[in-house]
Structure 1
Amino acid sequence: MSELTPSHVLVRVEGLARSVAAYEAAGFTVQWGSDPRAAHNALIHFREGPFIELFDPVPADADPAEFRARMPPRVGAWVDARGLCDHALEGDTAMEAILERLAARGIETNPAFEAERTGADGVTLRWSLTLPPRLDLPFVMSPYEPAPAIPEGDRRHSNGLRRLASLEIESAQPFELAERLTAMLGHATLRTLDDAVTVETAGFTYRIVAGPEHRVASLRFNDGRTLEDVRAS
């Protein structure tokens, strides 16, 4: 039975072109998700592990309130969010097998749907997603088809960062959320600390701390700096 691995972390932005320029100024190498004139996202890949997705889900000609009303609750939450807002897991099999595995581990999911985008290189990527009804759990993807070819130079950053190290999440029930996340991953290590519960997998750590409600709080890199630290430097 295949397992899931950390896929990427979502950062909601306003003004994608302006945000890409700001991240490049902070030393990141940024790939446009599609033709920059019409793109809704841009990607920051690393030498290993999950990537960062900068995205603005609202079409340029859409009213945000009307767009939110047409979308599933999770996408509606993305419309209202700013900054770090969600994260995803990825499987290595077809979505049908992923859904069966999640169901066997007691994870409720919504029906999967297909997605695609044509990159700036002209290659069309296709994949499937499922958005769990619990918004504090990550959404889940099947592998991209075909697997994207990411040039080595696009994985290197002038700020010296090599990979994402950890994601901190606030929760009203940290241990319960950590248990659910561990069940989704299937091959993770759960640890209880004095001030947090951690879930470790594939060289990446989810650090879940107590908070009044669910919030993706901070993202930390291999050198110990947070995303906010890097952008401010």
Structure 2
Amino acid sequence: MLRQIDHLVVLVPDLEAAIQEYRGAGFTVVPGGTHPTGTHNALIGFGDGAYLELLAFYEDNPAHRWHRFRAAGGGIIDLCVLVEGIEAECQRLERAGFTYQLAAGSRTRPDGFTIAWKNATPPDELTGQLPFLIEDVTPRQERVPHGQQAEHPNGARGVAEVVIAVRDLAPVVSAWRALLEAPGEAAEDPILGTPVHRFALGPHRVSLAAGPHPLIEERLGRAGPGPLLTRLWAWTTADVTLGSARFALLQLER
């Protein structure tokens, strides 16, 4: 069962510099730790359980599925969905025509505690267009910032929507329909003014966007299809651009 957006991967060239930059923009950033695949991270958690993962390579690893995005300037490069019963989900997706590769994942926190999970990834060419999946082995609260660690000076409260830029809506809409077993809805993005197809995913929304717009064209030309921007619920309204990553704070009613 697909529950909600778990996190968004934000590739940065230098982790410590990114931590300071995001803190300067009003986010509470929690050091995450190191992965055995040559990457390390820091996390920005929200009250809805989702988070942003600031990720950088501490050693070169061309075999890593995200390595190629370094040359494209990084930014928001991937989307992860929290799953209950990941093996069953992989079997369901295989019956629907998708091959998700199941693997074990881990991260060692700065305090020495090792967090473990299972993840499943789509084919490399679909990275950023379709999500990868995660299911915790160690308790989720050990992996995800919560409580005071998920409160932010800029008022950010949670993920409202992830907008994914695609070249052609039809095949990606079909893929998401199979993924979620839901039709979604066709609409026009009120800010971008371009056609989108929206899907609900727990408390969050995923919108697939296509059409002539400078932001969409920039993303497709620079890094190919993938996350264009993330809209966050907050107590204020603001546009925030940090490196190649774009965010929009949307005001909640008090």
* Common fold by TM > 0.5: yes
Category of TM-score, reference length = shorter chain: 0.7 to 0.9
Percent of residue pairs bearing the same amino acid type: 25
Q: What is the aligned length?
A: 216
User: Counterpart of 1:99 in 2: which secondary structure?
Assistant: helix
Partner of 1:217: 228
Q: TM-score, normalised by structure 1?
A: 0.82
User: What letter is aligned with 2:9?
Assistant: L
Matches within 5 A, 1:198-209: 198-209=198-209
CA displacement 1:45-73 (0-9 Å, x = unmatched): 100042100001x234x3xxxx21x33xx
Question: 1:124: Cα distance to partner?
Answer: 1.4
Pick from 105, 112, 115 the counterpart of residue 122 of structure 1: 112
Q: Hey, what's the Cα distance between the residues in 2 that align with 1:159 and 1:116?
A: 31
**Is the Cα contact below 8 Å between 1:99 and 1:109 reproduced in 2?**
yes
Cα distance in 1 between the residues matched to 2:88 and 2:53: 25
Unaligned runs of 5+ in 1: none
**Structure 1 partner of 2:186:** 192
SS in 1 for 2:33: coil
2-structure distance, mates of 1:76, 1:138: 17
Task: After superposition, give the CA deviation of every residue in 1:156-213 in whole Å (9 maximum; x if it has no partner).
Answer: 0011110011111111122331331232234x56010142111112121111111564
1:113 pairs, out of 103, 107, 112, with 103
Map of 1:91 onto structure 2: 83
Quote the offset at 1:10 in angstroms.
0.9
| Superposed counterparts of 1:63-102, under 5 Å | 67-68=61-62, 70-71=63-64, 74-81=65-72, 82-93=74-85, 95-102=86-93
Counterparts of 1:199 and 1:109 in 2: how far apart (Å)? 20
In structure 1, distance between residues paired with 2:24 and 2:108: 26
Q: Distance in 2 between matches of 1:179 and 1:205?
A: 16
The structure with the largest strand share of the pair is 2
Contact in 2 for aligned 1:175/1:197 (Cα 8 Å):
no
- Measured against aligned partners, the alpha-carbon deviations of 1:55-114 in whole angstroms (never above 9, x if no partner) come to 01x234x3xxxx21x33xx33333334111111112122x3223112223332223x221
2:10 corresponds to which residue? Answer: 11
Matched, 1:40 2:33: no
The 2-side partners of 1:87 and 1:47 are apart by 18
TM-score, structure 2 as length reference: 0.76
In structure 1, distance between residues paired with 2:96 and 2:238? 35
Deviation at 1:227, TM superposition (A): 4.1
2-side partners of 1:162 and 1:124: how far apart?
Answer: 27
> What CA deviation, in whole Å up to 9, does each residue of 1:205-227 have, x standing for no partner?
11111156413211111145444
Match of 2:95 in 1: 104
- Tell me the equivalent position of 2:251: none
Question: How far apart in 1 are the matches of 2:77 and 2:54?
Answer: 10
